[in-house]
Amino acid sequence: MWPHIDVKSFPDASANLVCFRLEEAVAGNEASAFLSPREFARVHLSSPTIVLALPLIWAHWAIVRGWAEPHYLRSFRLMMQILLVAVPAALNM
């Protein structure tokens, strides 16, 4: 699909979840850029919601512009750059 990105959906009970991960060779060592090792986004098909890791300044502007909100389960490890992005209501029919 995209260079250096692995897209994985799960065949079990979490079939409504699609994860996006960087290949190990290009992932780097910046832990704050990922939800889990190499994973930078999750799409929950049943919600529909996207959980996304962004650099802090991008996360700030996404929140200010109303495109996203901080993840409600964030902890000290999951700081402001972990966001929930919802599908606009007009598309959610």
- Which pLDDT tens digit goes with each residue over 7-61? 888 666 567 888 898 888 887 777 777 888 888 888 888 877 888 888 788 888 8
Cβ(59)–Cβ(83) under 8 Å?
A: yes
pLDDT at 93: 45
Total-model pTM: 0.71
Question: Pick from 50, 23, 53: which is nearest to 36 by CA?
Answer: 53
- Which pLDDT tens digit goes with each residue over 49-85? 888 888 788 888 888 888 888 876 655 454 557 777 7
